[in-house]
Copies of this chain bind each other. A is one copy, B any other.
Amino acid sequence: MTEIKGGVCAPKGFSAGGIRCGIKPSSSKKDLALIYSDKLCDAAAMFTKNIVKAASVQLTQKNIEGEKLRAIIANSGNANACTGEAGMDAAKRMVQSIANESQIDTSEVAVASTGVIGVPLPIDLIEKNVSVLKNSLRSDEQGHLDALEAIMTTDIRKKEIAVEIEINGVPVRIGAMAKGSGMIHPDMAAANNSAKHATMLAFVTTDAAVEKSALNSSLRNAVERSFNCTTVDGDTSTNDTIIIMANGEAANAPIATGSADYEVFSNALEFVCVSLAKMMARDGEGATKLVTVTVSGAKSEKDARIIAKSVASSSLVKAACFGADANWGRVLCAMGYSGVEFLPENVNVSFKSEAGEITVCENGGSVSFSEEKAKEILSKEEIEILISMKEGSAAASVWGCDLTYDYVKINGDYRS
């Protein structure tokens, strides 16, 4: 597997574009994006489990039932959530407008929105600019970058990746973009499940030929180990959406579940999703650090993930990371209220970064360690909290960030 340029435009047969139609108050920021495939794609998606779902989520859940897509249209600056019937009408008109423009069926269009909740979507601005949007499509990296810029809200960093792998000697590509900085605590399920909401959007394209069931299971496994293992503020949004489109242009023999090809493809997709998830955590609102919590020696991967997410979500642990304070007691505390049963006396905790590694807790109790060294380790931009449990052999990692003054500042008055 090699990383390549181009994002969602890297795989054959995909183009993308992004423009400003005027949804965002800022006078210059792009706010309308389109990802387009020359031919009809097999598609799979997952959505927030939040009971309160944006109109765009509800409509895309319906359109994805056919498991076929040609286009994804997305806007930033407005979540089109909690906007009643008018919101659903706006989502439908958004889909209709690009379907008409492209002369494709509305069922082949997915729609996504992100931004403030509860404000009516100015659909007229979108309809007025949809042909400009269509004409902005490019199959090169710039098209990808324009679309990516158009889905960003409080994001500071661009979240994108593309890889090339070989399926039976045939080169196959996977490209992706994501947005997400706040209201990030994804808990996504397949379209047919009841679904939650946290504003992260991720769009993945591939020119691989993949059987529908394989595409679905591969996506679920990747999301379970990536986005669903990420937290910024514990708030699961109303708009979380991840969509993958596979157009088969690479002309490989269709990938079937359980095959060796499936493993290769699934590992690559997981790598892509994990990479984006880590970028999201690192770019968490106000974050100064990426905090990776890894639990090993757990009874099951699920237990490990629940414990790691509890620690990564703890306001006290996050604040201690910000202060580079080796307050390991808060780590054990957060493990203890995770809901997973375990023996505290089996727990070891150490902190790690490029500055080194230091054990701060052994067998659930204190060990003498150098506060200065711990502070040096925790002062780096990427830190790890390593927890070992002696309860079993399962492990999992969760990606989060520190809690800072800027998080409070950004969210104290988000709408103005």
Binding site for B on A (CB under 8 A): 49-53, 79, 81-84, 86-87, 116-120, 182-183, 185, 187, 194, 196-198, 233-238, 313-316, 319-320, 322-323, 325, 327-330, 332-337, 340-342, 344-345, 361, 363-366, 403-405, 407-409, 411-416
Partner of A403, one of B119, B236, B408: B408
Q: Are A366 and B50 in contact (CB under 8 A)?
A: no
Q: Are B412 and A329 in contact (CB under 8 A)?
A: no
Partner of A83, one of B316, B365, B416: B365
Q: Are A50 and B361 in contact (CB under 8 A)?
A: no
Chain B nearest Cβ from A230, distance in angstroms: 15
Please tell me how many copies of the chain the complex holds: 2
With a cutoff of 8 Å between Cβ atoms, the chain B residues found around residue A81 in the complex are 329, 332-333
Q: Are B233 and A316 in contact (CB under 8 A)?
A: yes
Q: Are B235 and A344 in contact (CB under 8 A)?
A: no
Q: Are B320 and A412 in contact (CB under 8 A)?
A: yes
Q: Are A117 and B330 in contact (CB under 8 A)?
A: yes
Chain B nearest Cβ from A385, distance in angstroms: 15
Chain B nearest Cβ from A183, distance in angstroms: 6
> Known contacts A82-B361, A315-B411: does B332 contact A52 (CB below 8 Å)?
yes
CA A236 to CA B314, docked complex, whole Å: 10
Chain B nearest Cβ from A360, distance in angstroms: 8
Q: DSSP class of A's interface residues: helix, strand, loop or mixed?
A: loop
With a cutoff of 8 Å between Cβ atoms, the chain B residues found around residue A187 in the complex are 337
Question: Which 4 A-B pairs rank lowest in CB-CB distance, beginning with the nearest?
Answer: A117-B329, A323-B412, A52-B336, A319-B411
* Nearest B residue to A199, CB-CB: B333
Q: Are A366 and B118 in contact (CB under 8 A)?
A: yes
15 residue pairs of the A-B complex, CB under 8 angstroms, read A51-B341, A52-B332, A52-B333, A81-B333, A82-B364, A84-B363, A118-B329, A118-B361, A234-B315, A315-B407, A316-B411, A316-B414, A327-B415, A405-B408, A407-B408
Q: Are A314 and B234 in contact (CB under 8 A)?
A: yes
CA A355 to CA B325, docked complex, whole Å: 41
Chain B nearest Cβ from A270, distance in angstroms: 25
With a cutoff of 8 Å between Cβ atoms, the chain B residues found around residue A363 in the complex are 84
CA A135 to CA B149, docked complex, whole Å: 70
* Nearest B residue to A345, CB-CB: B84
With a cutoff of 8 Å between Cβ atoms, the chain B residues found around residue A194 in the complex are 341
With a cutoff of 8 Å between Cβ atoms, the chain B residues found around residue A182 in the complex are 316
Known A53-B336, A82-B361; 20 more pairs at CB < 8 Å: A51-B342, A81-B333, A84-B345, A84-B366, A86-B365, A116-B327, A118-B365, A197-B337, A235-B333, A236-B333, A238-B329, A238-B336, A315-B315, A320-B414, A322-B412, A325-B412, A325-B414, A327-B415, A405-B405, A408-B408
> Known contacts A341-B51, A344-B82: does B320 contact A197 (CB below 8 Å)?
no
* Nearest B residue to A409, CB-CB: B405
CA A89 to CA B52, docked complex, whole Å: 51
Chain B nearest Cβ from A319, distance in angstroms: 4
CA A363 to CA B83, docked complex, whole Å: 10
- Which of A83, A238, A337, A365 has the most chain B CB atoms closer than 10 A to its own CB? A337
CA A413 to CA B366, docked complex, whole Å: 18
Q: Are B364 and A84 in contact (CB under 8 A)?
A: yes
